[in-house]
Homo-oligomer: A and B are copies of this chain.
Amino acid sequence: MDKLDAIFSPKSIAVLGASTAKGKVGHDIFANILRGNFQGTLYPVNPTAKSVLSVRAYPTVLDIPDEIDLAMVILSPKLALAAIEDCAKKGVKGIIVVSAGFKEVGGEGLELENRISHICSEAGIRLVGPNCLGVINPSPDVSMNASFSARMPNPGNISFISQSGALCTAVLDFAAHRGFGFSKFISIGNKADVDELDLLKYYHKDPKTDVVMIYMEELQRAGAEFIKAVQEMTNGEKPTPVLAIKSGRSAAGAAAAASHTGSLAGPDALYDAIFNEAGIIRCNTVNELFDYAEAFSCGKIPTGNRVAIVTNAGGPGIIATDMTITSGMELAKFSESTVEELRKYLPSTANFHNPVDVIGDATRDRYENALATVISDRGVDAALIILTPQSMTDAIGTAEAIVKISKQTPKPIVCSFMGIVDVSEGVHLLQKNRIPVYTFPENAAASLGKLFLATRWLNRKQLPQFQQVFDKEGAARLIEKYRQEGKETLGELDGGELLKCYGFNILPMDLATSETEASKIANTIGFPVVMKIISPQITHKSDADGVKINIQTEDDVRKAFNDIMKSAAAYNPDAQLEGVLVQKMASPGTEIILGVNRNPNDCGHSIMFGLGGIFVELFKDISFRLAPLGRNNARRMIRSIKGYPMLTGFRGRPIADIETIEKHLVGLSQMVMDNPLIKELDINPLLVHEKGKGATVADVVISIKEPVSCSLA
């Protein structure tokens, strides 16, 4: 038995702080459980009242003569602490603290929350809250409405997790209006113990939950752990789709991060990366959340992206076509025999091609025959049925036909019954049979598009991992050395050494402190060379006229050395000039950027990929993933940018060595996993040569800093 069963399906509930005063939270929640027809036994705990709403009360939880599975605590923070100590003594299995005034107010509140959390963890009690709306389980065998909300939702197969209590009432109201049912509904508040990840794992095992919706404000656990656990859920034997709204912190986070990579990352891109990797479908609005959850609750996903549309009106058929294509699906092309078959059943004025128009005067039969015909076409992966109420329309009969056909096919069928009142009986019948139905065709088509996203997620290619050997010890030694030297920023010379340990191809180079030394270096590494000023005070070398490229002769090397030193001194007379870097000039390649950035609150690293130059600067055409990442994610992040064709031979360009980029992304990930001291890293650019010819680091900056803590915010 899972410990969370005591939260969701208790046999007995004690309400600590149950009150006789109507309007008080302690009264209302007690009343909601009682009137919600809870199938177990309910015990009000109140120090003075004889009974609450006619139910015999107990002064403390310890006075209750029976075992208690779940304690609901509705008391001010200090009283709550005392009550929870009692609960631990009593041996209750789960506690929900509804009351506020804890971590969210800081100071003493935070301290009390920590103490409560400690007591529960010592006693092996699972704790929900504090500062939450409660828990609802509408299943007839439990029928528990342990919440603020007077409204008990219908039972269904969708479970909900909300970090915001305030949102819950609106969501319950909205759900009732849409005829939506829930399996389990929980408000998690401050997450002192039970958090999203616990609940996701629990919901995944729950036979009554087929879809999970989350409203998330922030994740506290490290991204990698979360991703791994959710992947097992969205991608396992019997996957459970997860849909989430994540409210971002629009400007705030992004402004904080200073470096180039950092300023592009921002916490929101990070959550996008987490969701992408975990297989969570992100929604922007509550409307979308419900639309998509309804689609997934049918339990079917299409095996391909070819949609058949059947409609009794032209206009809505066009709208559905548009949104089908916008959502990444396409209109199925029917086989000749399908078209022949449709001709048998439909009047001559009908459209026998996709979208099939069964004409305004269609009754049940035409819909039934048309749907049965198109859904059995091998070139059709899903169907979208549009019904507009017209004089001959038989909404209920058509719904019956759809239900019948849907039972005989593994292909998803979604509907738009356009109207609310006129078609409501048909809509209810569809809903009862878990066939997704929407008022407007654009919502139906968009939802079908999300089902197809899930198909793509489940069928994504799994590549064998690379076998790369890294010099982990060498890198650790280098970082320790730099740290002891007090170097916080590593340029090309030091950074290059570090990159070498993880398989990067670095240009031969060395630092010259005199023109003679420079010419010697150039002779050793071979012409042509590039020369660059090295000074801790000069970061933008070009601004200081500190860079010369394509130097072909020894004389030019000597001249360049002197020119660069002179310009740099003129540019910043106080700069400490360490010398001039003499570097072999790189062979040409496509410029890309690889970056690493420690996540907010130093919680792991994210890896960035993008095309170099204006692509990243102007079009922000970049992708992110959390470390650690393997080859599959590396490939996906490379392919996900708009400029990807630049690497695949677009308009006569050479085909770039993409496999090397994949290897380097995996290598960078390994590098920061091995060396958490790396705070930021920008390889800008990496020159990617033609396929089979590798890539060369043309410039790199790495910053090193001790991480402080780890909690994703």
- Docked-complex contact B619 and A642, CB < 8 angstroms: yes
Q: Which of A250-288 contact B (CB under 8 A)?
A: 250-251, 284-287
A167 within 8 A of B: yes
A670 within 8 A of B: no
- Docked-complex contact B325 and A169, CB < 8 angstroms: no
- Docked-complex contact A100 and B318, CB < 8 angstroms: no
- Docked-complex contact B326 and A422, CB < 8 angstroms: no
Known: A163-B315, A619-B619. A169 touches B251 (CB 8 A): no
A367 to chain B, nearest CB (A): 15
Q: Which of A368-421 contact B (CB under 8 A)?
A: 388-391, 418-421
Count of identical protomers in the assembly:
2
Contact with B along A620-638 (1 / 0, CB 8 A): 0100000000000000000
Interface centre among A217, A248, A249 (most CB of B within 10 A): A248
A126 to chain B, nearest CB (A): 23
A55 within 8 A of B: no
A100 contact set on B, CB distance < 8 A: 360
A341 contact set on B, CB distance < 8 A: none
Q: Which of A603-630 contact B (CB under 8 A)?
A: 614, 617-619, 621
A554 within 8 A of B: no
Q: How far is the CA of A626 from the CA of B23 in the complex (A)?
A: 63
A82 contact set on B, CB distance < 8 A: none
From A417, which residue of chain B is reached at the shortest CB distance? B170
A151 contact set on B, CB distance < 8 A: 421
- Docked-complex contact A177 and B646, CB < 8 angstroms: no
A420 contact set on B, CB distance < 8 A: 170, 173-174, 176-177
Number of residues on chain A facing chain B (CB within 8 A): 68
- Docked-complex contact B442 and A169, CB < 8 angstroms: no
Q: Which of A3-44 contact B (CB under 8 A)?
A: 23-25, 28
A322 within 8 A of B: yes
A352 within 8 A of B: no
Q: How far is the CA of A312 from the CA of B360 in the complex (A)?
A: 49
Contact of A25 (CB < 8 Å), options: B170, B245, B391, B619: B391
- Docked-complex contact B286 and A166, CB < 8 angstroms: no
Q: How far is the CA of A439 from the CA of B173 in the complex (A)?
A: 10
A650 within 8 A of B: yes
Q: How far is the CA of A38 from the CA of B148 in the complex (A)?
A: 47
Known: A173-B419, A645-B618, A646-B614. A167 touches B248 (CB 8 A): no
Q: How far is the CA of A314 from the CA of B420 in the complex (A)?
A: 33
Contact of A617 (CB < 8 Å), options: B285, B319, B651: B651
Q: How far is the CA of A575 from the CA of B28 in the complex (A)?
A: 89
Contact of A286 (CB < 8 Å), options: B165, B170, B177, B440: B440
Q: How far is the CA of A164 from the CA of B440 in the complex (A)?
A: 13
- Docked-complex contact B442 and A284, CB < 8 angstroms: yes
A105 within 8 A of B: yes
From A166, which residue of chain B is reached at the shortest CB distance? B313
Q: Which of A302-333 contact B (CB under 8 A)?
A: 312-316, 318-319, 321-322, 325-326
A456 to chain B, nearest CB (A): 20
Q: Which of A343-377 contact B (CB under 8 A)?
A: 349, 360
A247 within 8 A of B: yes
A443 within 8 A of B: yes
- Docked-complex contact B315 and A442, CB < 8 angstroms: no
Contact of A646 (CB < 8 Å), options: B286, B318, B618: B618
A651 contact set on B, CB distance < 8 A: 614, 617
A59 within 8 A of B: no
Q: How far is the CA of A303 from the CA of B17 in the complex (A)?
A: 51
- Docked-complex contact B166 and A314, CB < 8 angstroms: yes
Q: How far is the CA of A29 from the CA of B318 in the complex (A)?
A: 27
From A392, which residue of chain B is reached at the shortest CB distance? B23
A528 within 8 A of B: no
Q: How far is the CA of A285 from the CA of B439 in the complex (A)?
A: 11
Q: How far is the CA of A25 from the CA of B390 in the complex (A)?
A: 10
Q: How far is the CA of A248 from the CA of B319 in the complex (A)?
A: 7
From A652, which residue of chain B is reached at the shortest CB distance? B542
A360 contact set on B, CB distance < 8 A: 100, 166
Interface centre among A390, A418, A643, A650 (most CB of B within 10 A): A418
- Docked-complex contact A217 and B249, CB < 8 angstroms: no
- Docked-complex contact B315 and A166, CB < 8 angstroms: yes
Interface centre among A167, A170, A215, A617 (most CB of B within 10 A): A170
From A164, which residue of chain B is reached at the shortest CB distance? B315
A176 contact set on B, CB distance < 8 A: 420-421
From A289, which residue of chain B is reached at the shortest CB distance? B440
Q: How far is the CA of A217 from the CA of B287 in the complex (A)?
A: 25
A645 contact set on B, CB distance < 8 A: 618
- Docked-complex contact A443 and B646, CB < 8 angstroms: no
Contact with B along A143-180 (1 / 0, CB 8 A): 00000100100000000000111110110011011000
15 interchain pairs, CB-CB under 8 A: A148-B391, A151-B421, A165-B313, A166-B418, A167-B315, A169-B389, A170-B418, A170-B440, A173-B422, A174-B439, A247-B315, A248-B322, A250-B321, A284-B442, A614-B650
Given contacts A163-B315, A165-B315, A245-B319, 5 further A-B contacts (CB under 8 A): A164-B315, A166-B314, A169-B419, A173-B421, A285-B443
The 8 closest A-B CB pairs, nearest first, are A164-B315, A166-B313, A170-B418, A166-B388, A173-B420, A250-B325, A247-B318, A173-B419
